[in-house]
Chain A
Amino acid sequence: MSLSDGGLGSSAPSLRNKNQNTGGGILVILVVASIVLFTVSVRGGETGVLGTVRSGFQTITSPVRYAGAVVASPFQGLANIFTNLTVDQATLSELQAENDELQTRNAELEEAEQTATRLQGLLDLKDTYNLQSTAAHVISGSTDSWTSTVTIDKGTSSGIAVGMPVTATSGVIGQVIGCGATTSTVRLVTDESSSISAMIQTSRAQGMLTGSATGQLALTLISTSQTVEVGDIVVTSGLGGVFPKGLPLGKVTSVENNPGSLYLDIIVEPFSTYGSYEEVLVITSLTEGQQASSDDIAAADAQDTASATSSSTAATAASSSSSSSTTDGTATTATGTTE
């Protein structure tokens, strides 16, 4: 006599019937239904019927997410415990000195806070008149392991739409990729599928800032002829017309010029990391001055042309060295070293 047939709340002994339906028939139906849903979802994206259903679902469940974020907020610092355990004495001394300095500054900032409160009121007024940005609170992080996203407490009812850029006080955090009536999903710049037109603030070298699964940002498409140094600030270029020009994105932490490569390998540390912000601004529209100027577009075109020229030159050099290598075995090595 098996009890497992009785289920979760069985109140009586039961014999498992060996002829019991194992669910094979319903499985086939549900598998087909799932495949249909998957196909429709992939083809339709966020704009289809399923996107609307998802928006409704996320609106309905937003109170639960919000409650979870409120409950979890006191424990967010626990993640730092393991890091702190391995800190050496020098770092602790440095932190102590920094703490003393910060305490001094704290008094000044108390005063500044009151000023900020007043300015916040002005920002609210600005939002009331439907100007260029809307303030929102982050209520939840990503619920899956696949995407780096956050959920904010403003949706279509507040004028938010898919594609709008989102920024925190320290810099750009991402872009709206899904909207419900009262919530929106923001893809962070660190997401693997994120890609933003960016440039080096000092040299104005323009490229694309892309996310990765490791959480690092990579600034790509900057040719080796451009000047980029560690510590350079990366800002939005305004090309593409989505992000306002000049918003801070991050700081260059590594620059590598690999021999034979046309582009620099640049790693960027984002200014805004998840957990470092609670309030964000959703930029609802761009003014003319915030978009890339014709000069910027011309500069980007010129950079592309220069890259193409250097690519062509490199190809020619490679071709000639290849020809030489038939008569001189050292030619290939020499070419590699030169580049």
Chain B
Amino acid sequence: MQVSNRNKDHRSILVLAVVCGTLQLALVPNIGLGNGRANLALVFSACIALTVGGRKSVLAGFFAGLFFDLSTTGPIGLMSLLLSVSAYLLGLQGRNRITGDLGLTMGTFTVHALAVSLAYHVTMLLVGEAGGFLDVVALRTLPTALLTVIAFIPFAIWLTRVQPSGPNLGGGRRRSSRGSHFNMRGL
């Protein structure tokens, strides 16, 4: 039976959005690996997709992508498209309750980070913004995906703490730290 506290859901999503948005604007420009920069918009949409799923995750992906597009100098709409699709697919996988398994969560996210990064940069190549495919892959896609995966690690750990592990009914569930906003009180 579902007794969902929607207000708490919305508040949690909002807090996560503010955290990721602030980090994207304030921290990401100052930490680079080659030409790569972490994509906190992808991290945010993945967190929502893996925990909430459904329509909310697709909407979160779209608006996170739009936020990313507006904060860069690239074309608007590209990242929102990619994150909408990515969030949808991750949401479907979230249904398989992968979020309780750190390794599986990281593996799934890594695949999505690589795919989104590659698709973004190849599209930029196709619209005439790059010199060659090798540059796109070696100098942009891989560093971006790597930094994004690293940025996702603390969020993934948090996901495994607030979500049950495995297909068991509530098996392996642990409480988040006392006083945390994302507590599981009442579950």
Contacts and interface: CB of A to CB of B under 8 A. Distances in A.
Do A and B associate with each other? Answer: yes
Interface of A: 1-17, 20-24, 26-27, 30-31, 33-42, 50, 53-54, 57-58, 61, 64-65, 67-69, 71-72, 75-76, 140-149, 177-178, 185, 187, 192-193, 212-214
Nearest to B11: A9
Interface string B29-48: 11110011100000000011
A3 B173 contact: yes
A17 B11 CA distance: 23
Nearest to A39: B77
Q: Which of B31, B35, B121, B127 has the most CB of A within 10 A?
A: B35
B80 A37 contact: yes
Nearest to A274: B32
A293 B42 CA distance: 51
Contacts of A213: 35, 130-131, 135, 139-140
Interface of B is mostly: helix
Contacts of A26: 55, 58-59
Contacts, number: 248
Interface residues of B, number: 86
Contact of A146 (B72, B182, B187): B72
Given A7-B52, A37-B80, A30 B59 contact: yes
A14 B135 CA distance: 48
Nearest to A144: B72
Interface in B163-177: 163-164, 169-170, 173
Q: Across chains A and B, which 9 residue pairs bring their CB atoms closest together, nearest first?
A: A68-B26, A37-B77, A34-B81, A38-B77, A12-B3, A9-B8, A8-B12, A72-B30, A14-B2
A177 B73 contact: yes
B28 interface: yes
Contacts of A8: 8-9, 12-13, 16, 47-48, 51-52, 162, 182
Given A15-B1, A34-B65, A34-B77, A7 B70 contact: no
A42 B127 contact: yes
Given A1-B169, A22-B54, A61 B25 contact: yes
